[in-house]
């Protein structure tokens, strides 16, 4: 019998698992995908929002601001790239300047430090921004983060502290037995005293296995451009337009890896598996983005992608127990600002619900930190040479675009949440994230994975089922 089952290893479920790993509880984390953080947490703007935008008094506002304050410690403990670059929300006419003053009032209600900048102040800070700018709202606490390793390292830390992770396990039914639940997956059955539903785009489906619900999720797709490592200084902050009912709008931002990201769109869709992009939507993103930053070098685009976020009909996060059994807790509708709110969501769930169901005793050997990774691109030449002297495989470059070594990839495979796919390697160390998008390094990564797991290269997948890199052997190696 488990104490807690968490359904969904996206960013919310991952932080809940990590928070619970601090205590003497038997916890399992179930994920339908073959890797953690592989859906909504895998495809987003990677922004740590300041919290000026959510409606005051909502869970979004409260947990955004609390989560933002936690990220300096989180990035250090989980060894994740994070930069507090600040954000500028830009006005390009007098009417929008009035809206900026309204946002300033909302920011103060939410407890977010902001200031309104004049046209000259904005142009001094951001020389590439539209010359039509009238002013901007500066939110200095906003940041950018590596969202892939945020989730991976969070789950790794939870697993290292005793949480059991089960991948490729889709929950197909849940039976409420009163004082415990039977959770049935496509592979196994589990009994648990408490179930936390953090199933992202599927959380309404999971909630409906327990009872009729008075809310639903509307999948909303956002499409993006990713630019190569273009010269630093195109923008120095995350640049937002004024927010609308659809969301925060098309942003232009650097990333934690010194690429640039442009997007997203925001359109409701019916199919939660539709991750396609289309030229008309991308053209509209481009038009809106160049209204903010006219000289974006779209000839430097190396990738387009889309992500889907679960917008709830309540227009707020849904974090509450079932009406029929307080041992079943829904964590649903976690759209933007869900990424920044995730550690605060975990804290909220544990303090408001789990602590009332268990006598929580902290583990004496709990460790909040992951073992640091060797990232050669973060090292000076002397430190890099020392690592290579100790292990020459760190001197063998596999990904020329991102300068990722064999040693770094092999190190991933020794961790408690290792990659099993080419995409899994890419998300963890950036091999394949460069200009050629894996055109040169993917074959080598495929062979490295095959050798490590003792399987044929034909069995190695890019990502999900039916995504094999190779289909037949034409010549013996």
SS3 letters across the chain: CEEEEEECCCHHHHHHHHHHCCECCCEEEECCCCCCCCCHHHCCCCEECCCCCCCCCCHHHHHHHHHHHHHHHHHHHHCCCEECCCEEEEECCHHHHHHHHHHHHHHHHHCCCCEEEEHHHHHHHCCCCCCCCCEEEEECCCEEECHHHHHHHHHHHHHHCCCEEECCCCEEEEEECCCCEEEEECCCEEEEEEEEECCHHHHHHHHCCCCCCCCCEEEEEEEEEEECCCCCCCCCCEEECCCECCECCCEEEECCCCCEEEECCCEECCCCCCCCCCHHHHHHHHHHHHHHCCCCCHHHEEEEEEEEEEEECCCCCEEEECCCCCCEEEEECCCCCHHHHHHHHHHHHHHHHHHHHCCCCECCCCCCCCCCCCCHHHCCHHHHHHHHHHCHHHHCEEECCCCEEHHHHHHHCCCCCCCCCHHHHHHHHCCCCCCCCCCCCHHHHHHHHHHHHCCCHHHCECCCCCCECCCCCCCCC
Catalytic residues: 49
pLDDT at residue number 476: 67
To the question of pTM greater than 0.95 for the whole model, the response is yes
Instruction: Please give the chain's pLDDT, 477 residues, in tens.
Output: 999 999 999 999 999 999 999 999 999 999 999 999 999 999 999 999 999 999 999 999 999 999 999 999 999 999 999 999 999 999 998 899 999 999 999 999 999 999 999 999 999 999 999 999 999 999 999 999 999 999 999 999 999 999 999 999 999 999 999 999 999 999 999 999 999 999 999 999 999 999 999 999 999 999 999 999 877 889 999 999 998 766 678 999 999 999 999 999 999 999 999 999 999 999 999 999 999 999 999 999 999 999 999 999 999 999 999 999 999 999 999 999 999 999 999 999 999 999 999 999 999 999 999 999 999 999 999 999 999 999 999 999 999 999 999 999 999 999 999 999 999 999 999 999 999 999 999 999 999 999 999 999 999 999 988 899 998 888 765
pLDDT at residue number 409: 98
pLDDT at residue number 248: 73
pLDDT at residue number 246: 62
């Amino acid at each position: 019998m488990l104490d807690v089952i968490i359904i969904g290893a996206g960013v919310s479920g991952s932080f809940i698992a990590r928070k619970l790993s601090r205590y003497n509880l038997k916890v399992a984390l179930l994920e339908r995908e073959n890797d953690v953080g592989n859906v909504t947490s895998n495809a987003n703007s990677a922004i740590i929002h300041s919290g000026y935008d959510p409606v005051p008094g909502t869970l979004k506002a409260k947990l955004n601001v609390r989560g933002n304050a936690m990220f300096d410690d989180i990035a250090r403990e989980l060894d994740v790239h994070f930069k507090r670059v600040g954000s500028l929300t830009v006005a390009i006419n007098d009417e929008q300047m009035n809206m900026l003053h309204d946002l300033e009032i909302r920011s103060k209600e939410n407890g977010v430090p902001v200031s309104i900048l004049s046209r000259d102040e904005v142009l001094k800070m951001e020389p590439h921004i539209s010359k039509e700018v009238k002013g901007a709202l500066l939110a200095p606490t906003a940041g950018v983060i590596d969202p892939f390793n945020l989730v991976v390292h969070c789950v790794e830390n939870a697993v290292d502290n005793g949480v059991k992770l089960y991948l490729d396990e889709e929950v197909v039914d849940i039976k409420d037995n009163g004082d415990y639940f039977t959770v049935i997956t496509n592979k196994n059955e589990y009994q648990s005293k408490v179930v936390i539903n953090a199933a992202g785009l599927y959380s309404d489906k999971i909630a409906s296995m327990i009872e009729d619900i008075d809310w639903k999720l509307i999948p909303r797709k956002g499409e993006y451009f990713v630019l190569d490592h273009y010269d630093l200084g195109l923008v120095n902050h995350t640049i937002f337009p004024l927010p609308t009912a659809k969301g925060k709008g098309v942003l232009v931002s650097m990333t934690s890896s010194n690429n640039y990201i442009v997007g997203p769109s925001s359109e409701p869709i019916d199919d939660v598996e539709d991750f396609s992009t289309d030229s008309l939507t991308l053209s509209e993103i481009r038009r809106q983005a160049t209204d903010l930053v006219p000289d974006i070098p779209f000839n430097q685009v190396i990738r387009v992608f889309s992500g889907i976020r679960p917008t709830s009909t309540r227009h707020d996060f849904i974090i509450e127990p079932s009406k029929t059994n307080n041992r079943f807790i829904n964590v649903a509708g976690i759209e933007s600002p869900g990424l920044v709110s995730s550690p605060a969501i975990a804290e909220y769930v544990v303090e408001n619900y789990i602590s009332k169901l268990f006598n929580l005793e902290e583990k004496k050997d709990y460790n909040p930190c992951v073992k640091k990774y060797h990232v050669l691109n973060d090292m000076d030449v002397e430190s890099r040479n020392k690592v290579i002297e100790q292990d020459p495989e760190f001197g063998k470059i596999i990904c020329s675009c991102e300068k990722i070594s064999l040693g770094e990839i092999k190190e991933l495979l020794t961790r408690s949440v290792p990659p099993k796919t080419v995409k899994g390697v890419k998300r963890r160390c950036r091999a394949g994230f460069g200009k050629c998008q894996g055109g040169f390094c993917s074959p080598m990564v495929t062979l490295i994975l095959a050798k490590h797991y003792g399987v044929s290269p034909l069995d190695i997948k890019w990502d999900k089922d039916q995504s094999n890199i190779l289909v037949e052997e034409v010549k013996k190696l």
